[in-house]
Amino acid sequence: MTATLKRLPAAAWVCSLVALLNATAWSVIVPLFQVPDEPAHIAYAQYLAESGKPPTGRSDRPPFSEEERVLVNALRWKQVSRRADNRLPGTAAAHRLLERTIDSPADRLGDGGYTSITNNPPLYYGLAAAAYRVSPSTDLPDRIHLMRLLSALLAAITTLFVFLFLRELLPATPWAWTIGALAVALQPLFGFISGGVSSDNLLYTAAAGVFFCLAYSFRHGLTPNRGVLLGALVSAGLLAKINMLGLLPGVALGLLLLVRRASPQGRRDAIRGALGAAAVVAAVAIAYVALNSPVWDRGTFGGAGHSLGSGEGIYGRPDVTETPSSGLSGALNYGWQFYLPRLPFMDSQFLRYPLREVWFDGFIGNFGWLDYGFANWVYDLALAIVLVLVGLAARELIARRSLVRDRLDELITYSALTVGLVVLVNGNGYTARIDGAGGFEQARYLLPLLALYGAIVALAARGAGRRWGPALGVLIVCIAIAHTAVALLLTLTRYYG
Amino acid sequence: MSRRLAAGAAGAALIATAVLAFALGKHPVVAGTNTAAPFEAAVRLPAGVRRCQVVSRVPRATHVRVVVDSARGLGRELRVAVVDRRGRIARGTRTRPPLGGVVVHLHQRTRPTHPAKLCFTNSGGGKIVLAGESKRVPRSSSAGGRSPVASVVFLRPGLSSWASRRDQIADRFANAQPGEHREWWLWVAGALAITAAGLAFWWAVFRLEPPMRKRPDPL
């Protein structure tokens, strides 16, 4: 696999560079603290950088440092976020006030109080804290921009993994790898999140790496080294955000299938690879738990005194018609309506239809603190385009069904990864709803499946046939460019127009 | 290659059309807001009922936009009046307001003033509910000093495009950035985005590897 990475085609680096440039452009345009939960992510990273340990997350302590709090106020975060018609303060006087705020001495070490992201493990924040520390400027805005650059770098690595995944998935069609990876690099929601300080970015990278590692192992066989790499990627994801737990069943199933399909000569290696992956994940999890509670004074898995997936601290637009009951029927009811149309005998759980308005429209573009997006007709047009692409991808799979049958294990593994994540996000949403939080459901939670998005795009281009496939691919890339360009302009006018 | 070139030309036209349509499209210009977001049903207006709320600052505007959360009755009529200490500044009426964003034309342009009151009346039948949120209001009688406040957006006369307001956008962007050379940051962002798009376009059109023909074609 090391040799594979060394022999990467230029297209892989180009796709990665496109993602880096695009995410950096987003990071410059989106105002500080306007990426979902960014104030809380920054508070975590700053606390870690200043104190050397993750925040305890006690409810009786303020979550932000004085330095962050005054900056948040100077940028009128409360008035601007979630209020689409309110702009950033843009007068010369407002700028002078901002400068005075930054120059005024303020305490950088907060009290590590509870926020909606305190339960996250500290790996991403450790990297962000390193960026915070190496920043030549000690002003918080400059440090935040450097942390955002870290997120952009992670977006580049994510795209690289998606390219490599497509190379293993569609080995006979090199041009399709580029199309799929560019579609991911230019996806506006991905660019928007990658332009902010958010642990989601490391989760996306780790998840894309897991897809690549599994695809590589399905094609070339599972070995101890590959197992350890897979375990390391899973561990990185788990230490970035607990949502990685959703991919664990799929990874476990994938390992089982890899062992089962290994040749008699390679079975011993495959078993050692699977055990290696499990050992790495177990060792990292034990080390984290051992540090988290006794050393860092947090809970067993998350912050102090809050269950995983707790809705406390989550603020969103209330779109719920009623809080689901905490019993099994409430969970099933909510779970069904989370993705599917409500059945006549079910109590209404949402004001909107989540499959379309949360997941699809959100993926096409719902930015800021879910406060702005495209005109309605754009989502309708996008739906038509996506249906055509999915149709072409399905046609390609059906046309090559005998080959698909040969790779059924692989397909089952990717499906299990998808189902696991979808169920976990559903469970998190349910827990948040029971805690009384609204607006938890957001399309960004499905971005760990970006590799599959790239695969659908690449398959769709292939589905147009050998003659027209590359031309369709070019058109898809142009649509992605137009999509992201308008999203950037929309963002510019939302905050500064 | 020729097909990719043709697709690239069509794609370039598509990109240019999308960007130009966005930049040149006309839309109302926001003069100011009362900072309340339309999160929930906030102000209920049964027939004949008048409700007023304080606005800390009224900008120069000719229209007011509110969000109707629910509406019942064919005869409903929403009246909006902007009132300051000296009396009424402007008023407007919208008969049978539909659900969603509703623009009410004021009979005369408001003058900048602060503070002022904004009064809503359902002068017809049925019921109108305006969307807004609970906000801290001075001298509020409700618990915790919070009262439901309707979301209000003041609009300037006429329509304008983003392209025609590019200087204002650039100024606001520069003033919202801390630090030196802040006016350059917008150009840096533009250059990064254009480079990313140009690189993706160039690679897809001119450097995309040709499809392999002689190898077996597994999935």
Per DSSP, the three-state class of A308 is coil
B22, B204, B209: residue with CB nearest A486: B22
Scan residues 159-188 of B and list those with Cβ closer than 8 Å to A: 162, 165, 168-169, 171-179, 182, 185-186, 188
User: Does residue B59 have a cis peptide bond before it, meaning omega lies within 30 degrees of 0?
Assistant: no
Per DSSP, the three-state class of B131 is strand
Distance in angstroms (rounded) separating the CA atoms of residues B28 and A80: 19
Q: Which two tokens stand for residue A221?
A: 């066989």
Per DSSP, the three-state class of A421 is helix
Predicted pLDDT at A308: 52
- Cβ contact (<8 Å) for B201 and A98? no
Predicted pLDDT at A441: 83
Cα maximum dimension of chain A: 75
Cβ atoms within 10 Å, residue A5: 10
- Cβ contact (<8 Å) for B172 and A90? yes
Scan residues 13-52 of B and list those with Cβ closer than 8 Å to A: 14-15, 17-19, 22-23, 30, 33, 35-37, 39-40
A192-207 pLDDT, tens per residue? 999 999 999 999 999 9
Q: Which two tokens stand for residue A22?
A: 């695009």
Q: pLDDT at residue B28 above 70?
A: yes
Predicted pLDDT at A338: 86
Chain A partners within 8 Å of B38 (Cβ)? none
Predicted pLDDT at B86: 85
Per-residue pLDDT of chain A (497 residues; tens, 9 = 90+): 667 667 899 999 999 999 999 999 999 999 999 999 999 999 999 999 999 999 998 888 999 999 999 999 999 999 999 899 999 998 999 999 999 999 999 999 999 999 989 999 999 999 999 999 999 999 999 999 999 999 999 999 999 999 999 999 999 999 999 999 999 999 999 999 999 999 999 999 999 999 999 999 999 999 999 999 999 999 999 999 999 999 999 999 999 999 999 999 999 999 999 999 999 999 999 999 999 988 998 988 877 655 555 444 444 444 555 666 777 888 888 888 888 888 888 888 787 788 999 999 999 999 999 999 999 999 999 999 999 999 999 999 999 999 999 999 999 999 999 999 999 999 888 888 887 776 678 999 999 999 999 999 999 999 999 899 999 999 999 999 999 999 999 999 999 99
| Pick from B59, B34, B174: nearest CA to A98 | B174
Distance in angstroms (rounded) separating the CA atoms of residues A82 and A382: 24
Chain A partners within 8 Å of B195 (Cβ)? 21
B93-132 pLDDT, tens per residue? 999 999 999 999 999 999 888 889 999 999 988 999 999 9
Query: pTM of the prediction?
Result: 0.93
Per DSSP, the three-state class of A449 is helix
DSSP B173-184: HHHHS-STTGGG
B11, B175, B219: residue with CB nearest A94: B175
- How far apart are the CA of B82 and the nearest CA of chain A, in angstroms? 20
Task: Nearest chain A residue to B132 by CA: give it.
Answer: A83
Its ipTM equals 0.93
- Cβ contact (<8 Å) for B212 and A174? yes
Chain A partners within 8 Å of B169 (Cβ)? 492-493, 496-497
Question: Is the Cβ–Cβ distance between A299 and A306 less than 8 Å?
Answer: yes
Q: Which residue has better confidence, B180 or A181?
A: A181
Predicted pLDDT at A388: 97
What are the percentages of helix, strand and coil residues in chain B, rounded to 5? 30, 40, 30
Predicted pLDDT at A448: 98
- How far apart are the CA of B107 and the nearest CA of chain A, in angstroms? 23
Task: Nearest chain B residue to A95 by CA: give it.
Answer: B175
Q: C-alpha distances in angstroms, A62 versus A100, A110, A478?
A: 23, 7, 47
Task: Nearest chain A residue to B211 by CA: give it.
Answer: A173
- Beta-ladder partners of B95: B77
- Cβ contact (<8 Å) for B190 and A318? no
Distance in angstroms (rounded) separating the CA atoms of residues B44 and B33: 20
- Cβ contact (<8 Å) for A172 and B218? yes
Q: Which two tokens stand for residue A36?
A: 């979902």
Q: What angle do CA A269, A275, A277 make, to 5 degrees?
A: 105
- Cβ contact (<8 Å) for A139 and B179? yes
Task: Please report where in the chains the tokens 């695009």 appear, as a residue.
Answer: A22
B174, B192, B204: residue with CB nearest A21: B192
Task: Nearest chain B residue to A465 by CA: give it.
Answer: B211
| Pick from A312, A337, A313, A315: nearest CA to A324 | A337
| Residue B217 near chain A (CB below 8 Å) | yes
Predicted pLDDT at A315: 45
Predicted pLDDT at A6: 73
- How far apart are the CA of A19 and the nearest CA of chain B, in angstroms? 7
Q: CB-based burial of residue B105 (10 Å sphere; 0-12 exposed, 13-18 middle, 19+ buried)?
A: middle
Secondary structure element (H or E) that encloses residue B16, with its range:
helix B2-24
Chain A partners within 8 Å of B189 (Cβ)? 25, 28-29, 488
In a mutational test of the B interface, the residue from A8, A24, A81, A85 whose CB has the highest number of chain B CBs within 10 Å is A85
DSSP A181-225: HHHHHT-HHHHHHHTS--THHHHHHHHHHHHHHHHHHHHH---HH
